[in-house]
């Protein structure tokens, strides 16, 4: 008999979770104004809100925490992080920040000016927020294939080179501070970018003399997909692939809460000393001194270890197989999701699951609430609420896709939890005829409204 696959870790510490009743959940979600961010964690049975900072650290990471050096300047933890960034990503200069959006805030304070254009592949929400906050504009150049959830394409995060070149030709280079490539592309479904595409974008960028920024939160998952799907990379290690990927970047921002498997942290890295110096000034203003930038020494230590563990094949294989396992259950139940399954999450196609809820009434958000009511699973809307209003017209922006993201925290849940998630979605799917109305917004913030939006049931 063929020996089945099993996880590449065993469990040393556990945290109890509790199932609630349907009545409790009805009450709690109403109190949360039908915003899943408004729930308390003990009101949630399986938390798939995000894979950001919610993973389980290893014994090695916890051991590194005990060795954290909390010196204000020049701590050994800073140098551990510097060494890991140089060895794994190849950058000489870096600045720690408290998380990914802080890295964006600091770097974009140097680079992004009003009227600027930042082309890229489906910019992440905080990235887009930091661009638009500076009165600049993000232009999405993702390949069209990404908008068809049922189409199998190995690299749906790729940038369409024609779309990109049109942008580069249309605007003077002074107006384009950088090209932003998100690896993996979170917003289009955790979809990877191929090595070939990274290389071609870099070539085009050089032609127009524009730097390339990698928004790198899930760079290791991207490398795993390159290994699995791109010809010529089968026999390379993840670390070899990562080094090659980053050759095509001039700078990077990182949310370490993702592929560096820590609970908090981020950084900026670059090759240009002048840029580093300019960013360091903003880092000192917004985050902290150059050698800690909003992070404690212990967290920098855990991050350095996490970068190493996060780029090991066995770890990534366990993680991405779990996402694929959940996908296989959804296939069995006929539930549509962004295909093929991404690295960190399943993105359920809400328009295909709740066919009777109109787009004006937020079908993906409605599906998220039904899933919570079903069994206490917390997911997140990646649809019209997240897409927010157009900064100029203030009209709702309807994205091509209306998705419900089920983000899987790293090393946190077992496949039994995946079974519960799949069965719960199946139950919602089976009663979709009874779900005909969605929600109405009663309060929203002027920017990044999804975090604090308040809703009313229609
Ligand atoms: C999470 C994320 C960010 C923002 O990072 P935070 O640590 O949440 O501030 C930016 N870009 C991408 C692609 C991300 O996934």
Give yes or no for residue 52 CB within 6 A of ligand 1: yes
- The pLDDT value given to residue 290: 97
- Atom 8, ligand 1: which residue's CA is nearest? 100
* Ligand 1 geometric centre to CA of 390 (Å): 21
42 burial via Cβ count (<10 Å: 0-12, 13-18, 19+):
exposed
Is 195 within 8 Å of 233 (Cβ atoms)? yes
In the predicted structure, residue 332 carries a pLDDT above the cut 90:
yes
Q: For 357-372, write each residue's pLDDT tens digit.
A: 999 999 999 999 999 9
Q: Best substitution site from 49, 106, 108, 186 to test ligand 1's pocket, by max atoms within 8 Å of Cβ?
A: 186
Residues 413 and 46: beta-carbon distance below 8 Å: yes
Q: Which of 215, 250, 349, 388 is catalytic?
A: 215
User: Could you tell me the pTM of the whole model?
Assistant: 0.94
Predicted confidence at residue 31, as pLDDT, reads: 98
The catalytic position among 102, 103, 217, 364 is 217
Fold exhibited by the domain 59-309: 3.40.640
125 as an active site residue: the answer is yes
Ligand 1 in contact with 322 (CB < 6 A)? Answer: no
Query: What does the pLDDT look like over 415-430, one tens digit per residue?
Result: 999 999 999 999 999 9
Label residue 147 by pLDDT band (50, 70, 90): confident
Q: Is the pLDDT of residue 313 over 90?
A: yes
Report d(CA 53, CA 259) in Å as an integer: 9
Mean pLDDT, the chain, whole residue set:
96
The answer, yes or no, to whether residue 213 has pLDDT greater than 80, is yes
pLDDT at residue 149 greater than cutoff 80: yes
Range in 1-15, 285-299, 392-406 with the lowest mean pLDDT? 392-406
Residue 426 CA, ligand 1 centroid: distance in Å: 30
Q: 22-51+312-457 with 59-309: one CATH topology?
A: no
Give 1-31 pLDDT, tens digit per residue: 999 999 999 999 999 999 999 999 999 999 9
Provide the pLDDT confidence category of residue 150 given band limits of 50, 70 and 90.
Answer: confident
Q: Whose CA is nearest to atom 15 of ligand 1?
A: 217
Task: Give residue 2 CA to ligand 1 midpoint distance, Å.
Answer: 40
Condensed to tens digits (0 to 9), the pLDDT of residues 67-120 reads: 999 999 999 999 999 999 999 999 999 999 999 999 999 999 999 999 999 999
- Predicted local distance difference test score (pLDDT) of residue 189: 78
Cβ atoms of 91 and 246 closer than 8 Å = yes
Residue of 37, 50, 52, 306 to test ligand 1 pocket, by largest number of atoms within 8 Å of CB:
52
Helix axis angle for 76-89 and 297-310, nearest 10°, is 20
Q: Which of 255, 257, 263 to mutate to test the pocket of ligand 1 (most atoms within 8 A of CB)?
A: 255
Task: Give the residue-averaged pLDDT of 275-280.
Answer: 98
d(CA 12, CA 10): 7
Residue 279 has pLDDT above 80, yes or no: yes
Structural domain boundaries of the chain? 22-51+312-457, 59-309
The CATH class of the 22-51+312-457 domain is alpha beta
Q: Taking 80 as the threshold, does the pLDDT of residue 182 lie above it?
A: yes
pLDDT above 90 coverage of the chain, percent: 93
Helices 313-333 and 219-229 pack at an angle, to 10 degrees, of 80
């Amino acid at each position: 008999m063929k020996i089945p696959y099993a996880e590449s870790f065993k469990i040393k510490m556990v945290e109890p979770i509790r199932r609630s009743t349907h009545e409790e959940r009805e009450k709690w979600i109403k109190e949360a104004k039908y915003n899943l961010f408004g729930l308390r964690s003990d009101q949630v049975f399986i938390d798939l809100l995000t894979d950001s900072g919610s993973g389980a650290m290893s014994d090695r990471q916890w051991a590194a925490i005990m060795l954290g050096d909390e010196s204000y300047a020049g701590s050994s933890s800073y140098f551990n992080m510097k060494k890991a960034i140089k060895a794994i990503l190849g950058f000489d200069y870096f600045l720690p920040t408290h998380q990914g959006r802080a890295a964006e805030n600091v770097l974009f304070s140097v680079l992004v000016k009003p009227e600027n254009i930042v082309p890229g592949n489906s910019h992440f929400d905080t990235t887009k927020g930091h661009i638009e906050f500076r009165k600049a504009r993000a232009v999405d150049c993702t390949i069209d294939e990404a908008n068809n959830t049922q189409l199998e394409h190995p690299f749906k995060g790729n940038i369409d080179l024609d779309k990109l070149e049109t942008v580069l030709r249309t605007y003077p280079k002074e107006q384009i501070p950088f090209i932003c490539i998100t690896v993996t592309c979170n917003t289009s479904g955790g979809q990877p970018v191929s090595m070939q595409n990274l290389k071609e974008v870099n070539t085009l960028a050089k032609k127009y003399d524009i730097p390339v920024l990698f928004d790198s939160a899930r760079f290791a998952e991207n490398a795993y997909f390159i290994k699995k799907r791109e010809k010529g990379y089968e026999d390379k290690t993840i670390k070899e692939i990562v080094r090659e990927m980053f050759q095509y970047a001039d700078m990077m921002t990182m949310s370490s809460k993702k592929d560096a498997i820590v609970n908090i942290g981020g950084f900026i890295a670059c090759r240009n000393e002048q840029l580093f110096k300019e960013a360091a000034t903003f880092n000192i203003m917004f985050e902290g001194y150059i050698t800690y930038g909003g992070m404690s020494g212990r967290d920098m230590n855990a991050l350095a270890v996490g970068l190493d563990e996060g780029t090991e094949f066995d770890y990534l294989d366990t993680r991405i197989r779990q996402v694929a396992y959940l996908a296989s259950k959804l296939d069995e139940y006929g539930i549509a999701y962004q295909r093929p399954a991404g690295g960190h999450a399943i993105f359920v196609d809400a328009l295909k699951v709740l066919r009777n809820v109109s787009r004006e009434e937020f079908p993906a958000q409605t599906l998220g609430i039904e899933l919570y009511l079903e069994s206490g699973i917390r997911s997140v809307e990646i649809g019209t609420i997240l897409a927010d209003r157009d900064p100029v017209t203030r009209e709702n922006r309807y994205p091509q896709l209306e998705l419900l993201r089920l983000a899987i925290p790293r090393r946190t849940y077992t496949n039994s939890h995946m079974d519960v998630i799949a069965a719960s979605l199946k139950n919602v799917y089976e009663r979709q005829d009874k779900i005909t109305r969605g929600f109405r917004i009663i309060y929203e913030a002027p920017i990044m409204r999804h975090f604090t939006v308040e809703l009313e049931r229609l």
